[in-house]
Chain A
Amino acid sequence: MQNNVRCEEVKNVAAKRWRKAVLLPRILGCLGLSAALVWAGGVRIPNLELHDSRLDNGLRVILVPDHSAPVYSINVAYNVGSRNEHPGRTGFAHLFEHMMFEGSENVGKGEQFSLVMNNGGGMNGTTNEDRTVYFEELPKNQLDLGLFLESDRMRALNITQANFENQRKTVQEERRQSYDNQPYAHAELDLDNLSYDNFAYKHSTIGSMADLDAATLQDVTDFFHTYYAPNNAVLTLVGDFDPDEALAKVKKYFGPIPSQPAPPKVDLTEDLHYGERRETISDPLARLPQINIAYHIPPGNTPDNYAAQELAVILGQGQSSRFYQHLVKDKQLASDVSAFADARIGPSLLYLSANPAPGVKVEDLEKGMEEEIAAVVKDGVTPDELAKAKTQLLRRFIEQRRSSLRTAILIGQYTVYFNDPNLINTVQDKQEAVTLEQANAAAKKYLVRDQRTLITTLPASPDATRPAKPAH
């Protein structure tokens, strides 16, 4: 590739600054470990300094000073998700999350939103299979506000029938908006439902309408006492504060909250599957067919899951991916493709998806996807592809590091999932460590037709009555 600029000239743009940065990490310690730099593909990013402690009531507290902007983010991650739900109560963890915004002993209904937003902040909460997180980002002079709000609702949630009815309906609207009124939603829900036999991950986080209808106020109270305890939570603060001052405030607000008995553990074991699982869905909201495939991969933060992350990039992320170049461009079988590898506490999935190009039969698209996967299994991926995947993953990770909020959420997640907040500093090393041999062995081991799920969605004719909603 030609270029008119000599490399020496442009090195000046970057190099001088980074000689400075290399010195900085000497000052930073991290739990007694030597201050290492995250290294990948020639780019070095300093480690974050984590102050990791635990209150007497069991609350894990992780403080990460960052003075680059006059803001801070607070994230409370509770060790509960839809995996903890029982049959008949799907969707409950998420419904409960909504209740956490309805007021607590010292915060009225709707007041949470106004206190944060009207003081220049942002906030949200989110539930998935494995954890429920609540987070705010605020200007740095509102540290007490964030700690107060999170501690008040951890300690004394205000649970009323009226609020509960209101949020039950809200969640049902969320389900309609995100799923029932969208194309391909049926397939998305069925993909996990067919792929897992263990109830924990088999059912959907959003839950069924019937179960949402059946939930009771007593369920809410019980759930709160069981799971919303300091010993079942991780508090992460990232931003512009002094760690000693912040810790003192954390103790003031969260210290008095009593611990609860440890909640029951969930068995996430998934037995081996034999035989491909297939389904064809007739979808009145879909205008194009779609194929969705899921392969079983190991839990997150395992060597083979890191390998699967890179396989997903190589297969279907970015325009240089195999699916894009071969299925969309060369063979023109697909109009759109995607790939994604989960990293859950338990057994995870690698998802692949494609829509056929105009005029292409969905069977031919399936055959094309099959050929691409078979090629990776048989001949493996190339060293260049692997290096490219690592670089792409690192870039995405680094962009998250820019945000105190994304960083706080990641740290909370790493702690709840893997009991390792320091993953924020080591995850890229683990990603880098995947070797070619390992990636290719993982492809052979996991991209196995006999243990996968494949769902085909076909547009239903406009006059067809809508098929029964998935029971999950």
Chain B
Amino acid sequence: MKTLGLSSKLIWQPALAALVLAALSAPIAPTARAQEKSMPLSQVQRLNRAPVNKEVLRVQLPRPTVVMLKNGLTLLLLENHKLPTVAFSLWIRPGQLADPIDLPGLASFAAGMLREGTERRTSAQIATETDSLGATLSATAVFGSSYLSVDASGWISDAWQILDLLSDVVLHPSFPSSELAQYKQREQASLEQRLSNPGFLARQAFRRVLYGDAPLSVTSPTKESIEKVTADDLKKFHDEHFRPGNAILGVTGDFKTSDMQALVEKYFGGWTGAAEPPAKLPASATPRPAQITLVDRPSSVQTFIIGGNRSIRRTDPDFYALTVMNQVLGGGPQSRLFLDLREEHSYTYGAYSRFNSEIYPGDWAASAAVRTPVTDGSMTQFLYELKRINHELVPQGELDESRRAIIAGFALSLEQPAQVLASWLTVQHFGLPADYWNTYPDHIAAIDAVAVQAAAKKFIDLDHLQWICVGDRKQIQDVLAKYGQVAVVDVNGKNEN
């Protein structure tokens, strides 16, 4: 629900890019050198008078204790004693990737229904208990993600109660039919609401053109799947996939590691089920030729533009080069897309790029919401920046700064133990080396301009670039035709010609 109240306007909103295309966070990370004068980007001025400490504060991310319990559950324990709290994050494979083709959203239904009743608690009891503890308890299956997550947090002195709740909803959900009927009503309403959201509409169209088939192309349940799903479907999904062998539990907070391990073993030790083999995913369809999909959203006063291609698997060694390339292109308000489309051309509140990476090749995209009359100019500038990073080596100063932004940012993450924990859960889940974050800064520092350009050439594939433009067809269709073939669809993805 949109929060009403104090209307705080931010100068820029980095979260927009991440919200649109569910990015996995590449944590923020080298040595500063004297700033050379970079090639001036249009109107950016470098006076170089600010007192900058040239030394990059190198920090090591604290490492969790990693334990594999007898039942196959992997446990990550990360102590943090700043506040008397504890947070649990349980990642369970395979998530939405296991949705049957005819039941899109099954994983998200299972996740959403966990709180709606267990063998010994009703939905109302779970709600009252959670709120009375001042705790949080939620479960989400992100579309396109190879795991669903169940998260809980609260006071450390309530750790056993929180674990009791968490283990109860994970191990013993009952999926009551009466609750399912109500859940479906709410899901139908949510679906309806999503269809008015330009970011969602863009993502929906983008994933469809990139991946073609389910499950990778799916971003939402459908009216039909919401209607169709039964309690038996949910139970089956739960039986098949909710197993300790499929799961990683991360815990961070104000505890002694051995004590918390013992507590987790008490509540999750009885969980049984061997790991499943990795999800079988359809072979990647051949990338389509470059095309523009116009999602007609009448009464729009902006065009929401996404341009992108597929990216990489999380374990791909190109991850570092792509990270640096993305940082240069659109990683923040200091990056090219923002400085061009907003600071120079005044087209938008913000333009960014981001990518995600998964057990399958994820997606990469640049995006911005621009006022409708400058849709033309915005497309021109997007193409200009995409071609520039493709054809020209990044100047040394700009490259140094981008690498430094990534490496130096590690210090800030130390304030957010949940973020640190998620970084290590990522390592565990994707099978990255145990010292991944310790070597990460050096890998980033080693990315030179040649590597960045190679990444640009590889991933910014202009011949197969997929553009999605969500806006008022009447005002933008002709303009977009200048940039390529335009296919017009409605908010449900149906062709509108």
Contact = CB atoms under 8 A, between A and B. Distances in A.
Do A and B assemble together? Answer: yes
**10 tightest A-B contacts by CB?**
A120-B408, A108-B45, A335-B189, A169-B346, A391-B134, A110-B44, A395-B134, A319-B127, A118-B401, A338-B1
Nearest to B347: A173
Contacts of B401: 114, 118
Contacts of B195: 287
Contacts of B334: 110, 113-114, 116-118
Contact of A141 (B49, B55, B348, B407): B55
A132 to B, nearest CB: 9
Interface string B23-45: 00000110010000000010111
A256 interface: no
A270 interface: no
Given A43-B155, A124-B11, 9 more contacts: A10-B263, A13-B263, A68-B82, A107-B49, A149-B50, A181-B198, A329-B124, A353-B2, A398-B85
B259 interface: yes
A24 B345 CA distance: 54
A70 B414 contact: yes
A31 interface: no
B286 interface: no
B59 interface: yes
Interface in B86-132: 115, 120-121, 123-124, 126-132
Interface string A311-329: 0000000111100110011
A13 B49 contact: no
A184 interface: yes
A167 to B, nearest CB: 8
Interface stretch (A93-101, A367-375, A438-446): A93-101
Interface stretch (B140-148, B205-213, B299-307, B455-463): B299-307
B131 A287 contact: no
Contact of A336 (B10, B164, B186, B348): B186
Nearest to B346: A169
Nearest to B344: A166
A14 B156 contact: yes
Given A108-B44, A126-B10, A170 B189 contact: no
Contacts of B302: 173, 176-177, 180-181
B82 A14 contact: no
Contacts of A292: 4
Contacts of B333: 113, 117
Interface in A187-221: 188, 191-192, 204-206
Interface in A391-439: 391-392, 394-395, 398-399, 401-404
Interface in A106-153: 106-111, 113-122, 124-129, 137-142, 144-145, 148-149, 152
A254 interface: no
B339 interface: yes
A312 to B, nearest CB: 10
B2 A107 contact: no
Interface in A1-26: 1-5, 7, 10-18, 21
B120 A288 contact: no
A388 B160 CA distance: 19
B82 A402 contact: yes
10 contacts: A16-B256, A69-B415, A111-B45, A118-B408, A181-B302, A318-B130, A325-B124, A357-B186, A402-B416, A466-B299
Contacts of B134: 41, 388, 391-392, 394-395
A319 B115 contact: yes
Contacts of B259: 12-13
A158 B339 CA distance: 18
Given A324-B127, A335-B186, A395-B134, A126 B8 contact: yes
Interface in B149-207: 154-157, 159-161, 164, 182, 185-186, 188-190, 192-193, 195-196, 198
Contacts of A142: 52-53
Nearest to A356: B189
Contacts of B121: 1
B45 A139 contact: no
Given A16-B256, A335-B186, A336-B189, A120 B82 contact: no
Contacts of A15: 157
B349 A170 contact: yes
Contacts of A318: 127, 130-131
Given A69-B414, A120-B407, A287-B193, A176 B131 contact: no
B130 A3 contact: no
A181 B411 CA distance: 37
Contacts of A119: 32, 52-53, 404-405, 408
